[in-house]
Amino acid sequence: MKQTLLSVINEYLEQGVDPVSKEAELWQRFGKRHAILVIDSTGFTRTTKTHGIIHFLSKLAQKRNIAIPILEKHGCETFVTEADSIIALFPDVQSTVDATLEIHHTIKETGLMLSDDEAFQICAGIGFGDILVTGEHGDFFGAEVNMASKLGEDSAEAGELMLTESAYEALVEKKKLTFTKKLSSVSGNNIPYYLSVM
């Protein structure tokens, strides 16, 4: 059976070894430098309240049918779905941005509607840096994971793409989109990020 990060940490705990003393080894074994994409669907609460959960889930299924092949086409290494979000790991920021833009435009071109008078839309956050990949479903950890999640799920609105400062610096083709530098308050700290409208 393949060992995961948490199973190794549990082994250390059972042996009376402080896992923090093994941090360098754990990063070497389970750490990877990745771009991380968090795509969220907008209007979930409102649409569920007015049209019911099955209506929204049918739209969500259609979004996934569009998004997943595009993620794979652009070199996504692994992804998970959580509620109405998709979290995906890529080898670089450029392919992550390209995949996000294609998903956004394809959803728009298909005419997928959230309701009779509102188009289905996504928003996204992208981070880039060292990430711990535990080997278990959906378990990615690291500062850039936290920031990408905050930007993609909590801060971005319909049609918005937000990049952490690290992701923006690693983006090769910055002129494809117009970015504005902003600040986000995270646990009392002002964290810079870059905002663009897709």
pLDDT of 87 reads 94
Whole-number average pLDDT of the chain: 91
Helix axes 23-30, 5-14, angle to 10 degrees: 160
pLDDT of 50 reads 80
pLDDT of 173 reads 92
What pTM value is reported for the model? 0.91
As a whole number, mean pLDDT of residues 63-75 equals 96
As a whole number, mean pLDDT of residues 63-73 equals 96
The pLDDT > 70 percentage for the chain reads 96
pLDDT of 16 reads 96
The span from the CA of 187 to the CA of 168, in Å, is 22
DSSP characters for 85-137? EEEEEESSHHHHHHHHHHHHHHHHHHT-EEETTEE--EEEEEEEEEEEE-SST
pLDDT of 118 reads 85
Most distant CA atoms of the chain, gap in Å = 60
Give residue limits of the domains in the chain: 31-197
- pLDDT for residue 187 is more than 80: no
- pLDDT for residue 79 is more than 80: yes
Question: pLDDT digits over 131-168, tens only?
Answer: 998 866 557 899 999 999 999 999 999 999 999 999 99
pLDDT-based confidence at residue 52 (cuts at 50, 70, 90): confident
Class of domain 31-197: alpha beta
- pLDDT for residue 60 is more than 70: yes
Identity (one letter) of the amino acid at 167? A
Radius of gyration of the chain (CA): 18
The span from the CA of 62 to the CA of 45, in Å, is 18
